[in-house]
Amino acid sequence: MTTHQINGDHLTIAKIKEILESNCQLELSTVSKNKVLKCRQYLDDKMSSGEHIFYGINTGFGSLCDTHISKNDLSQLQRNLVVSHACGMGDEVPHEIVKLMLLLKIQGLSYGHSGVQLATVERLIGFYNNDIFPVVYEQGSLGASGDLAPLAHLSLPILGEGHVDFDGVRMTGAEMLAKMNWEPLVLQSKEGLALLNGTQFMSSYGVWCMIKAEDISEKADLIACISIDGYDARINPFNHNVNAIRQQTGQIETARIVRETLAGSEIITQEKAHVQDPYSYRCIPQVHGATKDAIAHVKGIFEREINAVTDNPTIFPDEDEIVSAGNFHGQPLAISLDFLAIAIAELGSISERRIYKLIAGNRKLPAFLVANPGINSGFMIPQYAAASVVSQNKHLANPASVDSIESSNGQEDHVSMGANSATKMYRIIDNLYKVLGVELLNAAQALEFRRPLKSSPKIEAIVKEYRKKVPFVENDTYLQPLIAASINFVKSI
């Protein structure tokens, strides 16, 4: 089994995808261990004099920041913080996101600016390496002061509290510790705050969505190409010259992909009876390309964030300074996730319009893509279903980051609501796979009415594989299983 060493190197989205897909183990490098130990020792030395007051280390939290806590109560203070903040609600966070939360929390603590014990980081690594998934809930974070509630649930099992999923079984944190022959950790000063402050809930959803966004953007291009030939659209809008003069990177790239995917198609090169195509076909470079540009922008924001220290206070041993600031505020992520939500939702919006055109009975295609419309409803209702999902995505794409609700008696008077941006984005991605599945169902059906002409070798190869899962529909049949199979095919290609 391979190992990824956490050593302070810059993590990319691609590297995280590789770590997850290879199922490799994590370990702290000697350099990272020394940074964690040095910071902890600095904090212990600082606290031993009893002369200094630092927020969240020997004070209460939030609006209780002026309440001094005695030295003897510092460990209890940190435990109380974790258990009192575990107030999550709603659906459980999927395991793939929880695993990312563990990875990113470990990464953030490894820089040696958080004051945690080495044992705390090692315990989180133990969770990650053994596929121990703390039970975390989607709702409860305001996206400022960090993702407090979700990260509290992530941290509870360290103390023997909360619940985990382990070896396919739901058990208590105490049961898990006993099974692993681990003792509950006793948190030292500042540790609870280091675990709970941070943007790892938002970041983990964002990283997962970035990985899927890049995947789904490629698939949207490919399926659009099948629709282009199914609809007998023109190639001219995808010429290099007309796209290059606009100078938009994503647009130029999309046009190139379409040209290369359709290379060798007999359908695209046949003489056309129509002068131009509807926007949903003609403007694929502009719309799909804008989404590519949005993905590239958001990727940069998230790659900076996952390599950041986002808890509070932040400790600088070499500068003999402990700073209470606001790196936990999720505004960069909230705005970026809302931007990405709009961009991904638009791929679904234009996909549904292509579906609509394919069933309209134009371009020598039969109405609703069946040979005998009337007695057969054909593909009338899959378009309804896609439209329903697209409409839901439009609602989900409304920005969460423009909202803020004051909390903690006014001490936390502006929050990002980035956690809501993150969980909405997750649903939008899932919905887009559904819409593209319906488009592929329609596009492949339409392509059969172009026979004996063939599409490009690349498209013909994909359609051949698709037909092993989803047959051509001669007469009305039970469509839901075909739609489900089509969605699964889109996810697999």
Residue 493, amino acid: I
**Cβ 36 vs Cβ 116: under 8 Å:** yes
Does residue 55 carry a catalytic annotation?
yes
Closest CA to 158 of 109, 207, 206: 109
Name the token pair of 171. Answer: 């058990």
Q: Which two structure tokens, joined as six digits, stand for 124?
A: 């989180």
Token pair 């606290």 in the structure block, residue: 47
Residue with tokens 């990272």: 32
| Total length of the chain | 493
**DSSP E strands: which ranges in 269-333?**
314-316, 321-323
Q: Which structure tokens are listed for 196?
A: 């709970």
Query: CA torsion sign, 273 to 275 to 277 to 278?
Result: negative
**What is the 8-class DSSP label of residue 10?**
P
Q: Which residues contact 491 (CB under 8 A, 6 or more apart)?
A: 433
Ramachandran assignment for 232, one of left (phi > 0), alpha (psi -120 to 50 degrees), beta (any other) = left
Residue in 55, 281, 426, 466 annotated catalytic: 55
| Among 314, 332, 344, CA closest to 418 | 332
Q: Which sequence positions are flagged as catalytic?
A: 55
